[in-house]
Amino acid sequence: MIGPDCHDVAYLLSRARESRLTRRERWAVRMHLLICVYCRRYARQLRWLEQALARVRGSGRTGRLDEEARARIRARLDTREETRPNPPADR
């Protein structure tokens, strides 16, 4: 790949989070970032977004089942044996 544009580089920056880029791709991204302030910002923002989302995932406040719901679901699961509709015929 010779001289990727911002569009290509943005895609590669995203894909790099999912799978390892080839040596050529990594080199092309690095060269582009040297000359492009906007893609450098984008790269930084993607990293930031990743860390921020990791904090959201780990935070106890939002996006988690609260204790009440958890207890309700646990209670329901504890009675699950009675709910099995079609026990296999061979048991």
Partner 1 sequence: MDLKPEEWLEAHGDALYRYALVRTGQRDVAEDLVQETLLAAWRGRDGFRAASGERTWLFGIMKHKIDDHFRRTARTGGVLPAPDEDTAVDEESLEFGEDGSWRTRPGVWGGDPLGQAEAEEFWQELHRCLERLPVRLREGFVLRELSGLESRQICEVLEISENNLYVLLHRARLRVRSCLERSWFGGGERP
Q: Which parts of this chain interact with partner 1 (CB under 8 A)?
A: 5-8, 10-11, 14-15, 17-19, 38-39, 41-42, 45-46, 48-53, 55-57, 59, 61-65, 69-70, 72-74, 76-77, 80, 83-85, 88
Please give the C-alpha separations between residue 8 and each of 19, 42, 63, 91, in angstroms, as whole numbers. 16, 13, 33, 58
Dig out the tokens for 58 from the structure: 């780990």
The nearest distance, CB 79 to partner 1, in angstroms, is 10
Nearer to partner 1, 23 or 87 (CB): 87
Residue 47: CB minimum distance to partner 1, A: 10
